[in-house]
Amino acid sequence: MARDSDSLMMESGVTAPRRGKSASLKAHIPVKLEAHAGANHVLLERLLSMAQRYRSEGNFREAMGLYWKLAGDHPGTAEADAAGAMLLELAASYERNDAPHMARSIYERLLADGAG
């Protein structure tokens, strides 16, 4: 059977793929990585926007969940930095509005996660 498939490939002019990567394939890898990074950036921006919308609608639990996810899962990105700043702002707001236990919880988690 293997012999039949080999002869079919030769008759049709199709060649088997090589085992090594060609130079042209290697040249496309950076482009793919840049496209992937760009797509990730767009997705992170969308998540940050969703969190901000939740916050403006008064849905603080959902907003905080997204802020924590951004800050924890994507450190070093602008969106993670913004999320950390928003968490700090929420903590200060809780502190001003007689919810020091909530503020303390956020402050302590920020410190534990290395944001402080």
**C-beta of residue 64 within 8 angstroms of C-beta of residue 90:** yes
Dist. CA 27–CA 76, nearest whole Å? 27
Q: Which two tokens mark 29?
A: 């890898």
Number of domains present in the structure of the chain: 1
Whole-structure pTM over 0.95, yes or no? no
- Residues 86 and 55: beta-carbon distance below 8 Å: yes
| Domain limits for position 83 | 22-112
Q: Each residue of 8-32: pLDDT tens digit?
A: 444 545 555 555 555 555 555 555 5
Of 64, 99, 102, nearest in space to 83 by CA:
64
| Assigned domain for 51 exists | yes
CA gap 110, 89 in Å, rounded: 12
- Predicted local confidence at residue 26, as pLDDT: 54
In a domain, 1, yes or no: no
What is the pLDDT, as a whole number, of residue 9? Answer: 47
**Residue 31 CA to chain centroid, in angstroms?**
19
Residues 60-93 have pLDDT tens digits of 999 999 999 999 999 999 999 999 999 999 999 9
